Structure 1
Amino acid sequence: MPSVPTPFDAVHIGARVVVRSRLAPAGEAPHDGPSMTDTVGTLVARDATRVVVATRHGDVSIHLDRIVAAKEIPPRPSRRGAAHLAPTVSDLQRISGPSWGALEREHLGDWELRASAGYTQRGNSVLPGGDPGIPLTDAVDAIERWYAVRGLPARVQLGGPIGFDPAGDPLGAELLRRNWSVGSLTLCLTAPTERIASADPGGADVIVSADAGPEWLEAHATTRSGAGTPAAVAVITGSPRHLFGQIRPGGGLSQKLGLRDADAAGTTPIALARLGIAHGWAGLGAVWTHPAYRGRGHAAHLTARLAAAAREDGIHLMHLQVEADNATALALYERLGFDQHSSYVYLTAPGGN
């Protein structure tokens, strides 16, 4: 069972976990029967000496010196069917939330408010899963104030079934009543990691690491406006766990490609992708290929190799988000084996576009 760092540094309170532990202190043999046990449930507490896991049979306190291995696992399915399609829309929103970092995260009841100095809509919007704990109109007032203090437009990532109408959602209706605008229709895709790994078309060597590294971050800084800022780095490296993938070019590249000497020497990546790992799922993002190398299958190969690495680490489910009008990317992911699960839109307060 692949482990996470003890004492659960990479796992947040509320995550579903499995913990393998000794039944007797280290160096002592149990009196009878097995020497170890697995505890499955929700991580509800931790301190310098123990963790507490809430199981179906009650809370279990486990001393850290008895833990052999531990890992985060997906939430219990809400619906029947294939595991990657079983989560409800709100469940998948909650599962995927930590896979994209944010400089600030603050909770309003079950809602999560995220701010990242304006870098990406996901990093600067509310994830409204569940009950805000106060009346809806008061909750919207609160998030408008929260973003105003940070000099950011108030924005909500509102999820629903594919093709849903935001006006049919109570929160969506309230935001529309306040003249918030709707945009950026995005599809949520999911798949088993085994399926994606098996679809690998093959290709160049892929480097996979747990840390981004300077070369990965330097290449990513060229992919979009603001991608080289400290806020962007914090977003990219802000998930509980990560896998970063890259493909580097071979030597002897033609100068007509417009690459620097370092690129021609094979030290600067020509293709990137990232997995943010949380809740036992791997979220694919930051997929990019240098324009001179597009159309050669690098993105598909890189995605499949990251899926294989996640599978080897005990992660069996994947998700990603793709804008609904990005036909090229959507065709790529569906060809690899991703299924459409749900969708979301961003609603933005007046003056925020």
Structure 2
Amino acid sequence: MKIYGGYSPDFANRDVLKYLTMVQPTPESNGTQNGQGTIQIQVKTANTEVVIDGLIFDRGNSIAYNPKGEGQPEGVASAMMQPIGTLGIGGPDLTQEVLTTQTAQIYLENPNCNLTVNNCAFINAPNYGIRGMFGGSKVIINNCIFINNRMAACEITKGGLANSEAEVHFTYNTVLFMWSRLKSFEDMGYGYRYMTGINSYVSNNILGLSIFSGLDRTRVDSDKNKEAKRITTAENNIFFLNKQADLTIPGGGKFMRIWANDFDDVEQLAKVSGNKTLTDPKIFKGIINEAYLEGFLSAAYEEKTSYDPNSSANQFRQAMGMNMTGTINSKASMFANRYPWKEALKFFGAMEGYGAQNIK
């Protein structure tokens, strides 16, 4: 199975960024999918070649945003994303009632194939860009952009036969604005996740602006022999303003946080040459949405707790042998707000040799 986008109406010419092939679900589509992905891949015939090339995924219109306008920094297109399963406003002009569903933009339903995802855009993903279990031999994810994804850009776990080997090559991708599970910023918010049972080769990417870290290597196989044979690499990547770390690994109680210049000391990575921290952010001038960037860099969460044991309600509860209660009010300045999808396409070709390149 091979799907190629970017053709002119008469199929005489192909230009992915001129003749856009959009996968852009409407609010009405929420809840109609039969599974966990906007596109689901399920293949049972071994060694089948599956190619997805030149598609623009954008879930921005089908996500629910805060109807009160909360968590909307100045100049940002929408208020913050509502929790999964909570009503909000959405649609192209943010006037429709929307209930967000928790689905990945591409979900792997244990396909027994070789998979190539090339020249695609994954924008405004409410629950991962690419995720799932893979039962085949090889995945190549190359020259794609992942902009404004909740949870992570890519998380592929080993499926199929327990004794078979699988590998993922994650190369020349631009991964920016990865958001946490919830507005409290407590967990998730990764670029690429090294998952168990998978040999991962990660190179020449731009991995930046993640709530947690650009790379996550905290998963460890319970079988020590399998873990010892597992190959994970990180080479020639550019890291850019990740909030807590460029890489997370096990240890330290709640993960160890490693920055790119210390990758040489990470024993879990077999190869680590050529990784750099972006030293000239001006390279994104005119490409990155500056209001969104400023909002992300300043994103904050706070809670206010109110508990009065002497209130009349709590005195009554105590007299009746009931638990006394309080209230917690929380707010975030920004969380997974809509990113303008047309502007996101500017990231193709932003930096020669790193991240998504111009599509030829």
TM range (shorter): under 0.3
The structure with higher relative contact order (CA 8 Å, sep 6+) is 1
Flag the structure with higher strand content.
Answer: 2
Flag the structure with higher helix content.
Answer: 1
TM-score normalized by the length of structure 1: 0.26
TM-score normalized by the length of structure 2: 0.25
